[in-house]
Amino acid sequence: MNRTLLIIKPDATERNLLGHIIGRLERARFKIVAMKMVNLTEPEARSFYAVHEGKPFIDSLVEFMTSGPVVPMVLEKDGAVTHLRTLVGATDPAKADCGTVRNEIGLDVQKNSVHASDSDENAAKEIAFFFDAV
């Protein structure tokens, strides 16, 4: 079994889409092995997105990610990272494939409703960022 991290972003918690997203994950045969709701501080959001430091959208992204509660969760499935990225879709909801979570409920390239780890290595780091050994 492989693990990955998904975060339900503030635009989705604000619109009461937690149940919708969790339902899609469960129907796609992901096992939720840890989950919580948290309000990120600015330093926490900056640290989580450290790879994007210096990019034009980073300040706006940090502001967005601290604007309301987020729901990080650890998901388990064979091929978890790849399968979740496929289910989530491209960064820009307008360009994401039909049927993906972002195409279905994302608002724009920033408010795209969910984060998904992009590699096994980053998944391990991102899981450790939010959760003690799970």
Least distance between Mg ion and beta carbon 54 (Å): 15
Selected from 112, 123, 126, 127, the binder of ligand UDP by CB under 6 A is: 112
Q: Which of 20, 52, 83, 115 is catalytic?
A: 115
Residue 129 touches ligand UDP, criterion: CB under 6 A: no
- Owner of token pair 């969910």: 114
Which two tokens mark 58? 């980073």
DSSP assignment of 1-18:
-EEEEEEE-HHHHHTT-H
Minimum Å distance from CB 133 to ligand UDP?
25
Site membership for ligand UDP, residue 57 (CB under 6 A)? yes
Between β-strands 31-35 and 114-116, what pairing exists: parallel, antiparallel or unpaired? unpaired
**Six token digits for residue 96:** 């994401």
Nearer to ligand UDP among residue 4 and residue 112 (C-beta): 112
Report, in Å, the least distance between residue 114 CB and ligand UDP: 8
Q: How far is CA 44 from CA 29, 41, 48, 91, in A?
A: 30, 5, 6, 21
Residue 115 among the catalytic residues:
yes
The reply on whether position 118 binds ligand UDP by CB under 6 A is: yes
